Amino acid sequence: MFQAKAFAPFEKLASELMVHSSEGDDGSHDIAHVLRVFKNAMRIQALEGGDARVIAAAVLLHDCVAVEKNSPMRSKASVLAAEKASAVLAELDWDGDDIAAVAHAIVTHSFSANVPPETLEAKILQDADRLDAIGMIGAGRCFYIGGRMSSALYDPFDPSGSNRQLDDKRFVIDHFQTKLLKLADGFQTNAGRALAAERDQRLRDFLGAFMDEI
């Protein structure tokens, strides 16, 4: 059951916006993900500054349009989410500049979209979302998504991809090299980079243990 108090001090905003969040069945982009990203964002905002209300709204609506990872529309997901978020906020009589700020943050948070964030709020959302893609949570989400896509865990004859082309659609563990281990280098804020360094090391430790066991 949804509990707005988990999004303090933006309980009212959460109650207004979470009803517009995606209702898909993707457990890697569910309300638990939104709450984790919210906590990451508030932690970074406390150190870096920025408009906390804009950041909170962007977090609450950043995945309001669901597009599967293997969909050809995946790179458009953040643009579609920004368009929907803008309409939702306009209905709530938000100021035009604040709506634009939220929309920009949502568009640029996506790795697939590859649009650079230009505002502090957008940088914080991007960092907060990417923190959820590394560390132990990132590893768990990676395997969860692989299961949804019916991917194998790894290539039994060349797990590390030393003598083949990496293919993270076929093998879950390949996604560590194709994306996850690259994320820590792209964080936008000092606070985000510090948090990312810890989680990146956990991810590398996990991958080392995984390879050792197989």
Question: Is the dihedral angle over the CA atoms 34, 39, 44, 50 positive or is it negative?
Answer: positive
Stretches where the chain sits below pLDDT 70 are: 1, 22-24, 68-75
Question: What are the chain's domains?
Answer: 1-119 (1.10.3210.50), 133-214 (1.20.58.1910)
pLDDT at 75: 66
pLDDT at 26: 79
Classified as helix, coil or strand, 70 is coil
Helical residues (DSSP H) of the chain, grouped into ranges:
11-17, 31-48, 52-61, 77-91, 96-109, 120-131, 135-148, 174-178, 190-213
pLDDT at 109: 93
pLDDT at 65: 86
Mean confidence (pLDDT) of the chain: 92
pLDDT at 70: 58
pLDDT tens column, 64-83: 887 766 555 566 888 999 99
Lookup: tokens for 142? 């990676």
